[in-house]
């Protein structure tokens, strides 16, 4: 795969990461149709496989929520559509009325984003293809229940490893900021304003990765709850989930550090080598934390190894460094670096109070 064009390589990787969700959707769709058509003898159970696929989707997060919203949305749409169309008849303006009524009831019932859409689409079907009171309309509600439940069942029995994706996401973010830390240190040593700005631009583009980490942590918790195969993974997933906020905060603080450094460079102020060494050391810490995320239980580096690597950088970030700088902005840069180190110590498993106490030891 290394020999592929970067665009093609990215697409192949995206497909590879989606293999399990695609397989889940395919299995659930076929199974839902079999139950509704072959076992229950529904004449047109088209919504059973649709409901199964919608409840699963490629996104692993909130599948149980999506299933519930889909089932209740369909039920609301059929009920409202049946009542309203029986009362006012069919036609263009009647469709507008029934859609508005179904969506209003759905919005009143719950704030879920899928609920109003499903209610509206079901109401439209009642107003156009499924006559009020027709058995097919009620069968569609049953098909929605079948599809939604099959989706949840397949998601539980054919699950994605709940910890693996979150570990991969976290390691990818830490890998990116390892490189950015070293790049920032190199740019500052060369007094390269454009280089510092390029690092900041890349750091600003990391939010999608953070959002992906949070989504996969949420999905992992759901899989760990629903799937008996991964009940034993809950403690590990809990540890990984605990790193999501500190990683997010570390990324945000790195951007602040980067902006401080850029402001200094733009004003022609050369950042002290002692500060640059801290930034370089933080890059090394990001690498240790990345390896920690990917290590299996009992392997090195673990949280203790990461904490030791952090302490060596923390010792360099002593507050007395501020006494040697001539520009107040450099003192502010040191403050931001120390704040970033607190976030990284929390990624390594320390509580916030313990991390701050470690900093207070370095005067």
End of a domain among 101, 130, 157? 157
The CA-atom distances, in angstroms, between 101 and each of 25, 94, 106, 109, 112 are 32, 10, 9, 12, 17
Q: Report whether 257 contacts 355 (CB < 8 A).
A: no
Range with top average pLDDT, 114-118, 136-140, 194-198, 298-302: 194-198
Assess whether 274 and 333 both reside in one domain: yes
126 compared with 175, residue with greater pLDDT? 175
End of a domain among 108, 140, 157? 157
Assess whether 180 and 103 both reside in one domain: no
Residue 301: asked if its preceding bond is cis (omega within 30°), the reply is yes
Q: What is the mean pLDDT of residues 240-263?
A: 91
Identify whether 15 is part of a domain.
no
Is the torsion defined by CA of 290, 292, 296, 301 positive or negative? positive
Assess whether 324 and 234 both reside in one domain: yes
Identify whether 275 is part of a domain.
yes
Assess whether 198 and 130 both reside in one domain: no
DSSP structure string for 83-152: HHHHHH-SSHHHHHHHHHHHHHHHHHH---SHHHHHHHHHHHHHHHTS-TT-HHHHHHHHHHHHHHHHHH
Q: At 170, list the tokens.
A: 């976290």
Assess whether 300 and 343 both reside in one domain: yes
Q: What is the mean pLDDT of residues 280-284?
A: 94
Identify whether 13 is part of a domain.
no
Q: Report whether 206 contacts 254 (CB < 8 A).
A: no
Report DSSP state, residue 226.
Answer: H
Which residue, 40, 41, 36, is CA-closest to 52? Answer: 36
Assess whether 283 and 324 both reside in one domain: yes
Identify whether 151 is part of a domain.
yes
Assess whether 59 and 128 both reside in one domain: yes
**Averaged confidence pLDDT in the chain:** 82
DSSP structure string for 185-205: HHHHHTT-HHHHHHHHHHHHT
89 compared with 112, residue with greater pLDDT? 89
Is the torsion defined by CA of 65, 69, 70, 75 positive or negative? positive
Assess whether 227 and 316 both reside in one domain: yes
Identify whether 68 is part of a domain.
yes
Q: Report whether 308 contacts 246 (CB < 8 A).
A: no
**Which pLDDT tens digit goes with each residue over 338-350?**
999 999 999 998 8
End of a domain among 157, 189, 222? 157
Identify whether 109 is part of a domain.
yes
259 compared with 165, residue with greater pLDDT? 259
Domain range for 325? 164-360
132 compared with 114, residue with greater pLDDT? 114
Identify whether 49 is part of a domain.
yes
Largest CA distance in the chain: 84
pLDDT > 70: what percent of the chain? 82
Assess whether 180 and 288 both reside in one domain: yes
Assess whether 63 and 146 both reside in one domain: yes
Assess whether 133 and 71 both reside in one domain: yes
Whole-prediction pTM = 0.68
Instruction: Report the CATH number that the domain containing residue 216 is assigned in CATH.
Output: 1.20.58.220
pLDDT at 324 over 80: no
Counting the structural domains of the chain, the total is 2
Identify whether 16 is part of a domain.
no
Q: What is the mean pLDDT of residues 36-48?
A: 85
What distance in Å separates the CA atoms of residue 100 and residue 96, rounded to the nearest whole number?
6
Assess whether 193 and 225 both reside in one domain: yes
């Amino acid at each position: 795969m290394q020999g592929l064009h970067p665009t093609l390589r990215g697409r192949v990787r995206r497909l590879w990461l989606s293999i399990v969700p695609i397989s889940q959707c395919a299995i659930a769709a076929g199974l839902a149709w079999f139950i509704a058509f072959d076992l229950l003898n529904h004449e047109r159970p088209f919504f059973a496989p649709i409901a199964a696929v919608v409840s699963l989707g490629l996104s692993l997060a909130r599948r149980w929520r999506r299933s519930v919203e889909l089932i209740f949305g369909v039920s609301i749409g059929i009920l409202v559509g049946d009542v309203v169309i029986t009362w006012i008849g069919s036609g263009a303006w009647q469709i507008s009325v029934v859609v508005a009524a179904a969506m209003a009831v759905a919005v009143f019932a719950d704030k879920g984003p899928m609920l109003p859409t499903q209610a509206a689409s079901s109401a439209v079907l009642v107003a156009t293809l499924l006559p009020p009171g027709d058995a097919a309309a009620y069968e569609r509600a049953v098909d929605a229940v079948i599809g939604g439940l099959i989706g949840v069942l397949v998601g539980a029995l054919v699950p994605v490893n709940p910890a693996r994706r979150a570990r991969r996401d976290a390691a990818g973010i830490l890998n990116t900021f390892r490189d950015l830390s070293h790049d920032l240190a190199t740019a500052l040593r060369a007094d390269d304003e454009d280089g510092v700005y390029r690092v900041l631009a890349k750091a600003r583009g990391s939010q999608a990765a953070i959002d992906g980490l949070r989504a996969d942590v949420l999905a992992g918790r759901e899989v760990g709850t629903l799937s008996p195969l991964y009940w034993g993974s809950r403690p590990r997933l809990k540890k990984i989930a605990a790193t999501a906020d500190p990683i997010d905060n570390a990324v945000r603080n790195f951007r602040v550090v980067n902006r401080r450094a850029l402001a200094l460079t733009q004003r022609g102020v050369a950042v002290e080598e002692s500060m640059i060494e801290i930034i370089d050391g933080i890059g090394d810490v990001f690498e240790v934390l990345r390896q920690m995320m990917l290590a299996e239980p009992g392997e090195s580096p673990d949280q203790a190894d990461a904490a030791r690597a952090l302490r060596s950088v923390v010792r360099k970030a002593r507050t007395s460094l501020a006494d040697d700088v001539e520009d107040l902005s450099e003192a502010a840069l040191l403050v931001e670096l120390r704040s970033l180190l607190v976030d990284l110590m929390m990624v390594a498993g320390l509580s916030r109070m313990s991390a701050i106490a470690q900093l207070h030891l370095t005067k």
